Amino acid sequence: MTSTASNSNKERVFIFDTTLRDGEQSPGATMTLEEKLQVADALDEMGVDIIEAGFPIASNGDFEAVVAVAKQVKNATVAGLARAITADIDRAGEAVRHARKGRIHTFVSTSPIHLAHQMKKTEDEVIEIIARTVAQARNLVDDVEWSAMDATRTPLEFLKRCVDTAIKAGATTINLPDTVGYAVPEEHFRMFKTIIESVPNADKAIFSVHCHDDLGMAVANSLAGVAGGARQIECTINGLGERAGNAALEEVVMALRTRGDAMPFFTEIETTQLSRASRIVSAASNFPVQYNKAIVGKNAFAHESGIHQDGMLKNAETYEIMTPASVGIKETTLVMGKHSGRAAFKDKLKELGYELGDNAFQEAFQRFKDLADRKKHVYDADIIALVDDEVGSVGDRIKLVDMEVVSKTGGVHKCNLVVTIDGVETTVSYEGTGSVDAIFNAIKEASGQDPHLVLYAVDGVTGGTDAQASAHVRLEMNGRIASGNAAEPDTLVASARAYLNALNRVMIERGASAQGALAG
C-alpha cells in the first residue's frame, strides 16, 4: 500500500509547475486571464513551489498574465520565461518583480543540432551568451534559473562548461531538459550524476529535470533524474504540454509518495487536491482527461474485472496501491436534486473544490436547477461538468439563444438557430447531411467564420438515458487551434455549445512573435 514513512530521513524535491507556460503551448489549450488566475490559485493552494506563469516577451497578454499571477499568488515563487536575449530578460524581470518571490528562467540551446541549425553559434559564443545573460538576470532578481535547451543531446563535456559558466554567473537553479523527449531513464540518471559530480561548484545550485513525453517516458525520466541528484521536477497538471506533453505533476508526486521505500524523497504537495487541480486545468484548457489517465482519470480507481472486484471486496489493497481519497476523489453521491437550495448547492460546490463569485454562482445555480428539473438524479459528476462548462464560457462573444433541429431518416436535417454576437441577435437556418452537420454549418453561417473541424466527440457524464452529454470540439482557423467543451442533457445542444465555445476561443487574438523558440 502507499508508503507513509516519515519524511525526516528523506530529501525534499521541489515541484515547478509549468502548466501556464509549457502547458498552454499545447495547440488549442489557450486560457483566458481569468482561467490562468484560477489555475494559479489551485496550484498555490496545493503547495506547488514554483509556478511558471508565462513568457512575458511573447505578447502583451502574456506579460499581463504573468504580472497578474505574480500579484495574486501568496506562497509560491512565480517565474517568467526569457530567451537569452537582453529584451526578454528585462521584460521577465519587469513582470515577476510584482511577486513575493520572483524568478527569471532563461535558456539557450546547447546541442550541436540546435547550434548548427537554430542558433547558428559556436560553442564559445554560447558560453559568452550564458555568462552575460545569466549575470543580467541575476542583477534583476536573486532567483535565476538557467536551462540548457536540448541538454540530453548535448555532449557532456560542453554541457559541463555551460553549467559551470551559468552557476559562476549567478544561476541558482540549473535545468537540464529533455526538450524533445529523447532520453531513456538510465542515460538521464547518468547525465545528472555525471554533471553534478564533475562541475566544481555544482553544490551552489539546485538541479532540475524537465521531461517531454514523446516516447512515453517523461515521468520515468524525471524520477531517474531525481535519483541522479536533481531536486526539482518541472511538470504540468494532466501532463499538458507541447506535442505529447510534459511529465504529469500528479504522477510524479504520487509516485514519490507511494514508493517512498524505493525513492527516499518527498514533496510539499497536498495530494488530496490533485483531482480538483486536474478538473480546473481540464476545464480551463478545454482538454478532456483521458479515462485511463493515471491518478486522475475517470477509470483510475474503477474495477470491472470479476477477479479484481472480488479482491477489492475482500481487501482494497489487493488492487489499489493508493486510495481515491488520497488524491481527492470521492464516491459519487445522490444528495442534490430540484428541491436543493442555494446554501446546499454552495456547500456542494465547496466540497467539490469550487469557490465562485456571486455572479458565477447565480448562473451556475440556475443551470443546476434547470438540470434538476430535467434529470432524476444529479450526481457530483453532473455538477462538476455544469460548473466547468459555465466557467469555460465566461466572456464568449457568440452565445446560443435558441435552437430547433428537424431530422428525418433519409430526409432533410435542418437547424434553425438564434445566437447573439457581441450582444446583437442573429437568426439563420441551414440544412445539412445530418443534425450535427446542420448545427455546425448554421453557426458558421451566423458568425461569418469558416474554421476547420479537427475533432468532434461526445460521451456521457454519468450513466442512464437522462445523463448529461459532454461534447468536445476542436477547431483550426488562421493557424490557431482551440478546443471547446460543453455539457447538456440534450446531445445536440451540448454539441452546439461546444462548437461555439471553441469558435469563441479560436477568435481570441494571441501574440506569437516570440513563440517559436521556447525552452523545455
Is residue 460 a contact partner of residue 379, using CB atoms and an 8 Å limit? Answer: no
Give the contacts of 151 (CB within 8 A, at least 6 positions apart).
Answer: 110, 111, 159, 175, 176, 177, 178, 179, 191
Q: What's the start-to-end Cα distance of the chain, in Å?
A: 34
The three-state secondary structure class of 386 is helix
Residue 214 and residue 183: Cα distance in Å, rounded? 10
C-alpha distance from residue 334 to each of 299, 327, 469 (Å): 20, 21, 18
Report which of 22, 18, 25 is spatially closest to residue 510, judged by C-alpha positions: 25
Residue 309 and residue 360: Cα distance in Å, rounded? 41
Residue 339 marked as a ligand binder: no
Cell of 450: 469558416
DSSP string, 436-497: HHHHHHHHHHHHT---EEEEEEEEESSSSTTPPEEEEEEEEETTEEEEEEEEESSHHHHHHH
Residue 359 marked as a ligand binder: no
Cell of 374: 430535467
Report DSSP state, residue 290: P
Residue 303 and residue 54: Cα distance in Å, rounded? 39
Q: What angle do CA 382, 386, 388 make, to 5 degrees?
A: 115
Q: What angle do CA 466, 467, 468 make, to 5 degrees?
A: 120
C-alpha distance from residue 41 to each of 33, 63, 245, 330, 432 (Å): 12, 18, 22, 22, 44
Give the contacts of 203 (CB within 8 A, at least 6 positions apart).
Answer: none
Residue 308 marked as a ligand binder: no
Is residue 443 a contact partner of residue 500, using CB atoms and an 8 Å limit? Answer: yes
DSSP string, 229-267: T--EEEEBGGG--STT-B-BHHHHHHHHHHTTTTS-EE-
Report which of 162, 236, 247 is spatially closest to residue 205, judged by C-alpha positions: 162
Residue 303 marked as a ligand binder: no
The three-state secondary structure class of 338 is coil
Annotated binding site: 22, 210, 212, 246
Annotated binding site for Mn(2+): 22, 210, 212, 246
